[in-house]
């Protein structure tokens, strides 16, 4: 199998080897040391400002999205939510569920957010903005610098879901002035699913420490206090946190976050360069290195996904909902090589020869 989905993705041999080991007991100085190193490396790779913290939540990315909404926002906030697809919609649902006043900026699938659209909301008492920097469902990468500039000028607390973008696209938390960044273990971190991470700027930490406690398991204050000694309030996904440690060290040894961005970008560019002659259109106005969203001109996207899986042993990422038949996505994150791209292109050319696309 070759896995070109957007998560879970393929892990390196070293990460897989850790997954085969016995899971150790964790209330030990050794595990605390590993967790403190995980926090240090996460903050370094996110380019978080001095005084920032990172917490590790056992739960997929959505758990951290919900923790961010519950712990960093209150009913006295007034939030702008960018909704360009299913992940933007998820933030809107969370704001709704937790009673946080908000305004949704809805974008059509594949469309980027334009500066003029955002400027309409200037000077109207907004206090925070939530955005999925890469709306993975449609493959649109928003202009985070433009959004961050707006937030800085307007004094908005910026929460960035970078779950599928972190380590694939450049991200500089300090330069952006972001208050929180969220990522997950199964995207470019290329570990099994089950852990998500929130990095908090000093302002983010202060919001979390002052938050009214609404949920025991996703209480960020509790996570922050325990994290000071490299521990978590409850039993975390110990095995995955050990795999994350291996992976973070691997990235560090290979040159850090920017060289990881470059390798993902190179795999993406290699794939996009080999698409010529295939009946597909790229359907995003602004691409992340993490994913190429493709609209097939001659066949159903979902049928292409099924044939590749069943007849070629290659997994691309199908879309759900209204895009089911019109878009499939090819991921470039995880342990993939240009030879893997060649195998996918050869399979697609074979399908073309067989009249399937």
Ligand X SMILES: *Cc1c(COP(=O)(O)O)cnc(C)c1O
Residue placing its CB nearer to ligand X in the complex, 193 or 202:
193
Among 84, 110, 139, 184, binds ligand X (CB under 6 A): 184
Q: 84 or 227, CB closer to ligand X? A: 84
Beta strand 328-331 with 291-296: parallel, antiparallel or unpaired? antiparallel
Closest CA to 109 of 321, 288, 330, 315: 321
User: Is residue 7 part of the contact set for ligand X (CB under 6 A)?
Assistant: yes
300 forms part of the interface with ligand X (CB under 6 A): no
State which residue, 5 or 307, has the beta carbon closest to ligand X: 5
Applying the rule CB under 6 A, the residues between 83 and 142 that interact with ligand X are: 87, 132, 134, 136
The residue range among 60-68, 71-79, 235-243, 268-276 that interacts with ligand X, by the rule CB under 6 A, is 60-68
Decide: is 239 part of the binding site for ligand X (CB under 6 A): no
Least separation in angstroms between CB 60 and ligand X? 3
Contacting range for ligand X; rule: CB under 6 A; set: 59-67, 106-114, 226-234, 258-266: 59-67
State the minimum distance, in angstroms, from the CB of residue 265 to ligand X. 18
With contact defined as beta carbons under 8 Å apart, do 158 and 147 qualify? yes
Nearest to 214 by CA among 103, 71, 311, 106: 71
User: Does position 164 bind ligand X by CB under 6 A?
Assistant: yes
For residue 66, state whether it binds ligand X (rule: CB under 6 A).
Answer: no
- The size of the interface with ligand X (CB under 6 A), counted in residues, is 13
Smallest distance from ligand X to CB 51, Å: 26
Helix (H) or strand (E) holding 310: helix 301-312
What does the alpha-carbon distance between residue 243 and residue 24 come to, in Å, rounded to a whole number?
13
Nearest distance, CB of residue 87 and ligand X, angstroms: 4
**At a CB cut-off of 8 Å and minimum separation 6, what does 44 contact?**
252, 256, 257
Q: Using CB under 6 A, pick the residue from 39, 66, 154, 161 that binds ligand X.
A: 161
HEC secondary structure over 159-198: EEECCCCECCECCCHHHHCCCEEEEECCCCCCCCCCEEEE
Residue (200 or 357) nearer to ligand X, CB:
200
Phi, psi at residue 294, to the nearest 5°? -120, 135
The pair phi, psi for residue 184, each rounded to 5°, is -135, 160
Instruction: Tell me: does residue 38 bind ligand X (CB under 6 A).
Output: no
Structure tokens belonging to residue 211: 């938050």
Kindly state whether residue 82 participates in binding ligand X, applying the rule CB under 6 A. no
CB of 297 to ligand X, least distance (A): 26
Among 12, 36, 44, 60, binds ligand X (CB under 6 A): 60
Closest distance between ligand X and the C-beta of residue 191, in Å? 12
Closest to 102 measured CA to CA, from 75, 67, 63, 68: 75
For 51, what's the count of Cα atoms within 13 Å in the CB-facing half-sphere?
8
Tell me how far apart the alpha carbons of residues 136 and 33 are, in angstroms, rounded to a whole number. 34
- Letters for 186-225 (x = contact with ligand X by CB under 6 A, - = none) are -x--------------------------------------
Phi and psi torsions of 183, nearest 5°: -140, 175
Task: Output the six-digit token pair for 260.
Answer: 């990881």
Residues that bind ligand X (CB under 6 A): 7, 60-62, 87, 132, 134, 136, 161, 163-164, 184, 187
């Amino acid at each position: 199998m070759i896995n070109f989905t957007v998560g879970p993705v393929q892990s390196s041999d070293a990460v897989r080897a850790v997954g085969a080991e016995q899971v150790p007991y964790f209330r030990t100085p050794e595990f605390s040391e590993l967790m403190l190193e995980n926090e240090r490396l996460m903050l370094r790779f996110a380019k978080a400002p001095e005084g920032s913290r990172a917490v590790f939540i056992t739960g997929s990315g959505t758990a951290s999205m919900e923790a961010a909404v519950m712990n960093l926002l209150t009913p006295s906030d007034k939030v702008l939510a960018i909704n360009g697809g299913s992940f933007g919609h998820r933030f809107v649902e969370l704001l709704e569920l937790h009673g946080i006043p908000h305004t949704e900026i809805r974008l059509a699938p594949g469309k980027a957010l334009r500066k003029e659209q955002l400027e309409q909301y200037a000077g109207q008492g907004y206090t925070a903005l939530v955005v999925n920097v890469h709306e993975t469902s449609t493959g649109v990468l928003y202009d985070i610098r433009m959004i961050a500039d707006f937030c800085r000028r307007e004094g908005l607390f910026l929460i960035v879901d970078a779950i599928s973008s972190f380590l694939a696209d450049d991200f500089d938390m300090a330069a952006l002035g972001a208050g929180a960044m969220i990522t997950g273990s199964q995207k470019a971190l290329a570990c099994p699913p089950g852990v998500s991470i929130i990095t908090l700027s000093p302002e983010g930490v202060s919001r979390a420490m002052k938050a009214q406690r609404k949920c025991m398991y996703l209480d960020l204050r509790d996570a922050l206090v325990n994290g000071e000694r490299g521990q978590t309030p409850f039993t975390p996904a110990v095995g995955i946190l050990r795999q994350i440690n291996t992976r973070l060290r691997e990235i560090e040894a290979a040159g850090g976050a920017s060289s990881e961005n470059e390798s993902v970008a190179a795999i993406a560019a290699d794939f996009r360069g080999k698409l010529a002659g295939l009946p597909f259109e790229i359907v995003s106005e602004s691409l992340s290195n993490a994913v190429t969203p493709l609209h097939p001109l001659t066949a159903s996207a979902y049928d292409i996904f099924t044939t590749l899986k069943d007849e070629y042993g290659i997994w691309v990422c199908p879309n759900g909902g209204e895009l089911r038949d019109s878009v499939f996505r090819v991921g470039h994150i995880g342990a993939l090589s240009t030879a893997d791209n060649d195998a996918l292109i050869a399979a697609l050319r074979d399908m073309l020869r067989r009249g399937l696309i």
